[in-house]
Structure 1
């Protein structure tokens, strides 16, 4: 399955990989579920236990700065 991502999503994925050290497998899982559930990626990462609350806060802070 090919998962399409926007340039903003790619920036977020790079942040997740570089700063939070998430694996490509973890990110692909969240992206796959986002397509079927239409949920925000940070919440999916947290719901599936791929990030903890501290990491979720880091992601949300990063997103806020990018607005």
Structure 2
């Protein structure tokens, strides 16, 4: 299962539409999250799927959603 709740769906939409990440990149990070139980934004950065500026945009977006 790709997304386990509505907030994941919104977050994945943001990653695809705003940061233009591929479904494959997102799927890799989601698999890593299941294995390592880490926060998805940090996993995206750790595995080189987003740069530091994109990571900041992710945190800004997440803060706006809270």
Band the TM-score falls in, shorter-chain normalisation: over 0.9
CA separation in 2, counterparts of 1:3 and 1:19?
Answer: 19
- Following superposition of structure 1 onto structure 2, how do residues 33-44 of structure 1 map, counting pairs within 5 Å? 33-44=32-43
Unaligned runs of 5+ in 2: none
The total of aligned residue pairs comes to 66
Provide the residue aligned with 2:56 in structure 1: 57
Q: Which has the higher contact order (CA 8 A, sep 6+)?
A: 1
The Cα offsets for residues 43-67 of structure 1, whole Å up to 9 and x where unpaired, read as: 0000000000000000000000000
SS at match of 1:49: coil
Distance verdict in 2 for CA 1:4–1:66, change over 3 Å: closer
1:25 correspondence with 2:24: yes
| Aligned-residue RMSD, C-alpha | 0.9
CA separation in 1, counterparts of 2:58 and 2:4?
Answer: 17
TM-score, length-normalised on structure 1?
0.94
